[in-house]
Amino acid sequence: MAVSRASGDALAVLGNQVRLARHDRGWTIAELADRLGVNPRTVANLEAGLPTVSIGTVFNAAFLVGVDLFGLSGPELARARRAGEETLALLPAKVRKPVAADRSDDFAF
């Protein structure tokens, strides 16, 4: 899977944060994999910043080892979610392209 440079950097940063937090807890890759219900290879791929690991697995791993996502702790993250949902509720249900005015007869006299 090809990802942008910025996405690759973000994956690498999050993978490093998970690895450091796992080490701080004294957990092996196999122990974190067991807690996540995945293969140890998946955890190794996550920590390497590979884009093939599902986002749910990445976020669950971050939560388990105590890495704050988006720089927000649990309660702050919940508040940010609610604020986003409230903002989205104000948006129209569909996005439509504006209709261009027909200018073909502008000079008709």
Per-residue pLDDT of 45-73, as tens digits, reads 999 999 999 999 999 999 999 999 999 98
Contact 49, 8 (CB under 8 A): yes
The domain locations on the chain are 5-89
Per-residue pLDDT of 1-50, as tens digits, reads 789 999 999 999 999 999 999 999 999 999 999 999 999 999 999 999 99
What pTM did the predictor assign? 0.79
* CA gap 67, 14 in Å, rounded: 8
Q: Is the dihedral of CA 61, 4, 72, 15 positive or negative?
A: positive
3-state helix, strand, coil in the chain (%, to 5): 60, 0, 40
User: What is the third-level CATH fold of 5-89?
Assistant: 434 Repressor (Amino-terminal Domain) (1.10.260)
Phi and psi torsions of 72, nearest 5°:
-120, 140
